[in-house]
Amino acid sequence: MKRSIMTLFALGVLVLAVGCSMAQTKDTSAATEIPEIRYETMQLDNGLKIYVVEDHAVPLVKFEIWYNVGAIDETERISGISHMLEHTMFLGTESLGKDKVHHLTKQVGGWANAGTYYDFTMYEEELPSAKLELAMAIEADRMRNLKIDPEEFAREQQVVAQERRQRTENNFFMSSMEEIQSKAFIKHPLHHTIIGWMDSILAYTVEDMRDYYTQYYAPNNAVMAVSGDVDPQEVFKLAEKYFGDYESRKVTRLGITEPEQTEERFIKIEKVTQVPLIGMMYKIPAGNHPDIVALNALNAILVNNATSRVNSVLKNEKHLIMQAGSFSFELRDPSYLFVYLIPMSVKSMDNVKEAFDAEIQRLIDEGITEEELAAVKKAALKSKVFSLKNKGGFASQLAINTLRFNDPDLYKRSYQQLEALTGEDIREAARKYLVPQKRTVGYVVPKGK
């Protein structure tokens, strides 16, 4: 075991000021002292990385195992299998009966859950801190000894099929996004969404599942994050006891790269809806790319802030849209930024798109204002202070940054980058990424119109 236990300081006592760019506007930047969050970390010889964040407010512990595998590791034939595997992990092992994970955690006064994303799958238990070993044993057992009973597997496929009906097929926004995404990505597995296609869900075999599990569920492809009322040394000792003898495994990935998009793509989608929707998917780089910070600021200034260009002009001034929003996926692979606009009518869809493009052009031509930049920085500072209330969330962030980029402290650099961000950086991001040839446009219209 590599006993390189380090005590790191996630945030030193920093005195941050946000006002340098606001000299000519109102100064909202009095210094704010931000306390520190400490974490401890170590790595087992087999590659399993462990992060511990102490929080003794209540006698509880949050235990998480994050696997570096998700929907972008799937071929189209087995689309959604990462998510199906997440469900299968609750069917048990020889020692843990079906759904025993839920029963045992409930018995001690806790709960268990799991989640699948494009580039990770996560399992978590929250328990009385005296029961940390139970969580450790559950995750260690099912990391290596998963039992896949064909009958139970088939029943669970039906549950996942129902989940797809409920969350995607009966949701006009999600089902439209799925179609736009499959148009935007041709080769890369982002061609499908996390839940996968219905045909795939119903066609997985037990062998498919066994192969996938064996390929990706290994200590060197996982990160453990523990937060709460625990002693880090005790966590490390238990990790060694339960995972120490597990062998690392070579993990191979699909290695599929999406060809560079060179022209705008368009798709018209008919849905049972009364209001139309324009969805625009722009290609962006991986989540640790230096341009991501500027892209997020751009997102706020162009679309998401109450005073954004889109809200001010398209919604409040021109009354062209009812609502707008934007979000991006910051994955280990290049992914996308999604902008949605809800026009007032089907007839005005082209006008809305043109007006949106005009706002991007205006931003590129005229730059952004000092107030816009100050608002972004103020929001980031506030969010940073409020995030300190959630130490469990901080531990998760360390795990995600490690899984994706082997860089737990990425958040720290991102914040520093944001503090130094200039209007020109944001303008450049717009020039580079928000261009028609890098986007796929979806018009979602009421059926028959």
Partner 1 sequence: MKRLIMLWLALALFIPSALAGVEFSPQLFEELARSVNKVPEIEIPAYERFVLDNGLVVYLVEDHSLPLIEVTGFIKGGRAHETKDVAGISSFLTDMMTTGTQNRSEEALDKYKELYGLSFSMGVKRDYFTLRGSALIQDKGHLLELMADVLMNPKFDAPYYQRKLMELYQGLSMARTQDPALVDMIFYRHLYGDHPYSFDADIDLITAAAQNYTPARLMKYYKEAVAPNMTIMAFAGDFSAKAMKKEIEKAFGTWEKAPVTLPHQKSMAPRDEYGKVYIINKPDATQAKFKMGFDLFTHDYPEDTEFRVANMVYGSGSFECRLMDTLRVQKGYAYDARSTYNANKLGGEYVVTTEVKPESALDTYQTIIGEMDKILDRAEPITKDELFKTVNFFNALLPKFYVEKIDVIESVVLSVEIWGESANKVNENIKRYNNMTAETAQRIFEKNLDPDRFLTVILGQKEKLVPQFEEAGIPVEVIEM
**Contacts (CB under 8 A) with partner 1, residues 13-52:** 25-26, 28, 30, 32-35
CA 161, CA 305: separation in Å to the nearest integer? 37
Position 214 contacts partner 1 (CB under 8 A): no
| SS3 assignment, position 270 | strand
Helix (H) / strand (E) element for 66: namely strand 60-67
Sign of CA dihedral 264, 265, 270, 272: negative
Using CB under 8 A as the binding rule, the residues of this chain from 168 to 187 that contact partner 1 are 169-170, 172
Least Å distance between CB 401 and partner 1?
23
CA 239, CA 218: separation in Å to the nearest integer? 14
Position 210 contacts partner 1 (CB under 8 A): no
Using CB under 8 A as the binding rule, the residues of this chain from 320 to 349 that contact partner 1 are 322-323, 342, 344
Binding part of the chain for partner 1, among 182-190, 299-307, 326-334, 423-431 by CB under 8 A, reads 299-307
Contacts with partner 1: how many residues (CB under 8 A)?
88
Using CB under 8 A as the binding rule, the residues of this chain from 76 to 95 that contact partner 1 are 90, 93-95
Position 248 contacts partner 1 (CB under 8 A): no
Residue number, 124 or 258, with CB nearest to partner 1: 124
Helix (H) / strand (E) element for 405: namely helix 391-405
CA 252, CA 216: separation in Å to the nearest integer? 8
Q: Which of 37, 84, 85, 127 binds partner 1 (CB under 8 A)?
A: 127
Using CB under 8 A as the binding rule, the residues of this chain from 374 to 433 that contact partner 1 are 374-375, 378-379, 381-382, 385-386, 388-389
Q: Name the residue among 144, 142, 114, 122 with its Cα closest to residue 214.
A: 144
Using CB under 8 A as the binding rule, the residues of this chain from 253 to 272 that contact partner 1 are 272
Q: How many CA atoms lie within 13 A of 333 on its CB side?
A: 22
Position 56 contacts partner 1 (CB under 8 A): no
CA 151, CA 279: separation in Å to the nearest integer? 41
Q: Which of 109, 199, 237, 362 binds partner 1 (CB under 8 A)?
A: 109
The total of other beta-carbon atoms located within 10 Å of residue 407's CB is 14
Position 358 contacts partner 1 (CB under 8 A): no
CA 41, CA 53: separation in Å to the nearest integer? 9
Least Å distance between CB 232 and partner 1?
20
